[in-house]
Amino acid sequence: MSVTNDLSESDAYTLMTIGVQAILLSAKEIDNKTKQRINDLRELLEKIHQEDKDSKQTSIKS
């Protein structure tokens, strides 16, 4: 999937729900703004992944 704008938390949950496993970011140049965008996106996706993982572990224990 290609991302052209900033991804919201809601968007990230939607991607997780439909099973997207890869995101492509395009950039003409790698400047500080681009690096920050990549970092923000990585952190958001890691957060969503961890919440999903924790949720599945809780369900298994119950």
**Domain count for the chain:** 1
Q: What is the mean pLDDT of residues 15-26?
A: 83
- What CA–CA distances, in Å, run from 10 to 6, 32, 38, 62? 11, 25, 17, 27
pLDDT value, residue 32: 94
- pLDDT the model gives residue 1: 66
Higher pLDDT, 58 or 45: 45
Considering the entire predicted model, what is its pTM? 0.69
Looking up tokens 């920050």 gives 36
Measured at the CA of 57, the angle between CA 53 and CA 58, to 5 degrees, comes to 115
Round the average pLDDT of the chain to a whole number and report it. Answer: 83
Question: In the numeric block, which tokens belong to residue 38?
Answer: 């990549």
| Domain limits for position 42 | 2-61
Residue 35 or residue 61, greater confidence: 35
Half-sphere exposure of residue 39: CA atoms within 13 angstroms, side-chain side:
7
